Every structure is written in structure tokens, then in C-alpha cells.
Amino acid sequence: MSGGGAAGPGRWAQLLVLLALGLLMALVVRGGLLEALPGAGTIASVGFLLLAGSLTASLLERVGLPHLTGYLLAGALAGPHLLQLVGHQAVADLEPVNALALSLIALAGGAELRLDGLKQGLRSLGWATLLQNLPVMLVAGGVFWLARPLIPFARDLPGGALLAAALLWGVVAITRSPSATLGIITQTRASGPLTTSTVNFVMSSDVVVVVVLAVALTLAQPLVTPTATVSLQAFRELGHELLGSISVGVTLGLLLIAYLRFSGKQLLLVLVAIGLVLTQVIDYLGLDWLLIFITAGFVVRNLSSHGDAFLHAIEGAGEVIYVVFFAITGAHLDLPLLATLWPVALLLAGARGLATWAAGAAAGRLAGDPPALRRWGFAGLISQAGLALGIAARVSGQFPAFGAGFAALAVTVVTMNEVAGPILFKLAIDRSGEGRAGDVEP
């Protein structure tokens, strides 16, 4: 009882600080105090989201919710679609900061992939890769097809275009979120079969999705435009993107190993500089910078003895990385759109979740996984984020007949999965006994 009494004042104090912070930000924004100083709005937005996200996460932690939920909620409430404490321009200006945070998360994700762990879990990873992709893709696309009367942009599509949209929706459904996975693992300090299996699968699945997307785009174009023909150009572009990204990632990893061996000082600052510069250069070259950074982290972990020091340097940024990334992501969320499309979005998200659960159970049984992994292996695969939205944006640009509606629906479904996924994964870690959140407060 005494513990509960002590928690009460702390909770109310945090809530009052959060309200005062929001009021102060509102006065600054409404009063136009930032307009006279170029860049001041971006700096103020980052500072506000850091503080508001941390306070909200601390409040929600008391009811067992993960920190990521607090970061997302703070960003969504403060974003341009609700309280407008962080406006559209500020969100756009924060894109380089968001890319930097994601690059550090990707480096950490690659460094979490240990070659010996991949070899030991190869059977499990193989079955998961097989069953969590094609079957889930077919189920998601099939439900999309059957639900077409509920989908505004799909009701009047001709058969070929509807089939193309369903095919592409299946590709969106098999994307996962490395950032959400690592965020929960960082908070809980989890380790064990469930954690290792989830990291191995989520980090390697991006490559599978990139390949599947190229095939789907190649097949979808003739379905939408009957005069179009199947072209091998998409596969040439895919080869360029994959091989180029992996080559750059290996090179970056070797350069980081050399730096760690001969200096290693101020490593986090070096990684920040690399993240700020390379994300812009890589976009210009048309390569996948997420794959590049994952590959670089993997090379440092497995081709040198500096993996632990490398990972420790990134973790030194701790909560800041995840607050920035997920609070900015939350500010992107279009909640009014969610209110409009939520019935069909809930149906599609639910179908994807059930298919993921069934595929996880089947893969665990066939691979002979431990009971906890068979029961909870699906939980870390629900979250979605940037890759799904990137695919939706590409569909929007390439298929004007249904692209805008497709992208809007994808944003709504991803929002649901982005909120529900971290909660479910944290529950799985807690129930499987792999978490050690009490040891370290991220």
C-alpha cells in the first residue's frame, strides 16, 4: 500500500508537468515566437517531443503499456492533425532527424544479428520465412478482395485493377517494423529464444519484401493497363538496389571496424554524422539505406571483436533515439483519416493478425520450437511502420487509378498495427519470462 501511495504523487506531478509543457508550447506556437528565428521551430519541436514523449511513456508504463505507445501517443496528440503544437512544416523539417534515428536503429538491428545465432535458428527462420510471407500475403490479399464493397476506392475497380490492388495489399501485409521490435527489446532488456527468433526474422524479412514487391509490381502493371507487358526492368532495378545496398553496407561496416580498431573515440558522434550525411546521399543513388545500415551493423558484429562496443555506443543514445523516431512517427499519423476508415481497416488489420498468428503456430510446430516461441512467436511481427508506408507511397505514384485511396487505407491499417504491435510484443516478452525491464531504465 505504501508503494501505491508513493506512486500517486509522482504520477500527478508528471501529468501536471506534461500539461504545463503543452501549454507553454501552445503559447510559443500561437504567439509566433519561433517565426523570427530560422530553424527555431524544428529545434523546439524536437525538444518538446522528447520531453512530452518521455513523460507520456512514464505515465503509461504504470499501467503496463510499452514506452513506444507513449511516444506515439505524444506525437499524435501534439501533431498537425490534433493539437497542432507541432505543425505540418515542423514535421516535414524533422524528416532528416527521423532518418538519422532510423539509421541508428538499423545499425543496432544489424549488430543484434549474430552469425552463430542465425545458424542455430536456421530451421526456425526458414519455416517462419516460408509461412509468414506467402500464406499471409494470400490471406491478406484475399480478404481485401472479399471486402471490396467496404473499401471506397475498390468498389468500382475493374477486375484486373482490383486483382492488382489485392496483390499489392498482400505485399504491404508482410512488412514488419524493425524499429518497433528493437524499441521493445531495448526497454525490456529481453533475451531468449523468442527475442532472438524475432530479431532474426524481422531483420531479414526486409530483403524478402523488397524481392516480392518487385515481382508484384511487375505483375500488377499489365493487370491495370492491358496494353502494358511484363518487363524485366523491375528485376534489373531490384538487382541494382540489392547488390548495391549490400556492397555499400559491407564497405561501411569495414570502415567502421577500421575506425574502431585504430581510434574508436566519440563513436556515437561519428555514427550521427554518418547517419545525417549517408541517408541523403543514399537516397540520391536510389539504394535502400535501411538495408545498408543493417548490413553495416551485421559486418561489425560478425567480422570483428568490436560488436559489443559498437552496440553499446548506439545504446548510449538510449531512449532519445526511440522517442525522436516514434514521436515524429506519431505526429505523422492522420487520426481524422483513421476515424473515417476504421471499420474496414480493423477488418484488414485483424485478418493480417490472425494469419500471422496461424502462420507462427504452424512454423513453430514444424520447426520444433520451444513452447514459448510457438505460443508467442507471432507477437513481434504485428508492428508495421516505414517500409509499409513506403510501399503505399510507391503504389500511389505508380497506379493513379487507385493509388491515393490505397495509400490512405494503408496509413490507417499501419496506424492500428503500429499502436497494437508494441503492446502485444511487450506482453509476449513478459509472459515468456524473457524481459528484464527492472534492470535498466532506457
For residue 190, the domain's CATH number is 1.20.1530.20
| Domain termination site, one of 36, 60, 93 | 93
Q: At what angle do helices 67-78 and 40-61 cross, to 10 degrees?
A: 140
Task: Judge whether 140 and 360 are in contact, CB under 8 Å.
Answer: no
83 and 144 co-located in one domain = no
Task: Judge whether 94 and 328 are in contact, CB under 8 Å.
Answer: yes
166 and 104 co-located in one domain = yes
Amino acid at 275: G
Tell me which residue of 109, 100, 99, 167 sits closest to 138, measured CA to CA.
167
**Environment class of residue 28 by beta-carbon count within 10 Å: exposed (0-12), middle (13-18) or buried (19+)?**
middle
102 and 168 co-located in one domain = yes
Query: Would 442 be classed as within a structural domain?
Result: no
The C-alpha atoms of residue 99 and residue 86 are separated, in whole angstroms, by 18
Query: Would 168 be classed as within a structural domain?
Result: yes
274 and 251 co-located in one domain = yes
Tell me which residue of 292, 319, 303, 313 sits closest to 258, measured CA to CA.
303
Tell me which residue of 199, 232, 221 sits closest to 301, measured CA to CA.
199
Query: What pLDDT is attached to residue 271?
Result: 86
45 and 148 co-located in one domain = no
- Rounded to 5 degrees, φ, ψ at 225 are -115, 100
181 and 151 co-located in one domain = yes
Query: What pLDDT is attached to residue 35?
Result: 54
Q: At what angle do helices 134-146 and 159-173 cross, to 10 degrees?
A: 140
Q: What SS3 string covers 368-423? A: CCCHHHHHHCCHHHCCCCHHHHHHHHHHHHHCCCCHHHHHHHHHHHHHHHHHHHHH
Query: Would 393 be classed as within a structural domain?
Result: yes
Query: Would 415 be classed as within a structural domain?
Result: yes
18 and 55 co-located in one domain = yes
C-alpha dihedral, 425 to 363 to 416 to 162, nearest 10°: 170
The C-alpha atoms of residue 217 and residue 212 are separated, in whole angstroms, by 9
The C-alpha atoms of residue 82 and residue 326 are separated, in whole angstroms, by 17
Query: What pLDDT is attached to residue 6?
Result: 42
Query: Would 401 be classed as within a structural domain?
Result: yes
344 and 400 co-located in one domain = yes
**Which domain, by its residues, includes 395?**
97-432
Query: Hey, how many other C-beta atoms are within 10 angstroms of the C-beta on 208?
Result: 16
Length of the chain: 442
203 and 291 co-located in one domain = yes
Query: What pLDDT is attached to residue 441?
Result: 38
The C-alpha atoms of residue 11 and residue 203 are separated, in whole angstroms, by 36
In Å, how far from its chain's centre is CA 151? Answer: 25
| Domain termination site, one of 93, 113, 132 | 93
Q: Give the SS3 label for residue 378.
A: coil
Query: What pLDDT is attached to residue 21?
Result: 67
Q: Residue-wise pLDDT tens for the chain (442 aa)? A: 334 444 444 666 666 766 776 676 665 555 555 555 555 566 777 777 888 888 888 888 878 888 888 888 888 888 787 777 777 777 777 778 778 888 888 888 888 888 887 888 889 999 999 999 999 999 999 999 999 999 988 988 899 999 999 999 999 999 998 888 988 888 888 888 999 999 999 988 878 888 888 888 888 888 888 766 666 676 777 778 788 889 999 999 999 999 998 887 888 888 888 888 888 788 777 788 788 888 999 999 999 998 888 888 887 776 678 887 888 888 777 777 778 888 999 999 999 999 999 999 999 999 999 998 999 999 999 998 778 888 888 888 889 888 888 988 998 999 899 889 999 999 999 999 898 744 433 3
Q: Say how many domains are in the chain.
A: 2
Beta strands in 248-336 (DSSP E): none
87 and 102 co-located in one domain = no
| Domain termination site, one of 29, 64, 93 | 93
Model's pTM, two decimal places? Answer: 0.81
26 and 164 co-located in one domain = no
Query: Would 173 be classed as within a structural domain?
Result: yes
Query: What pLDDT is attached to residue 43?
Result: 73
**Environment class of residue 357 by beta-carbon count within 10 Å: exposed (0-12), middle (13-18) or buried (19+)?**
middle
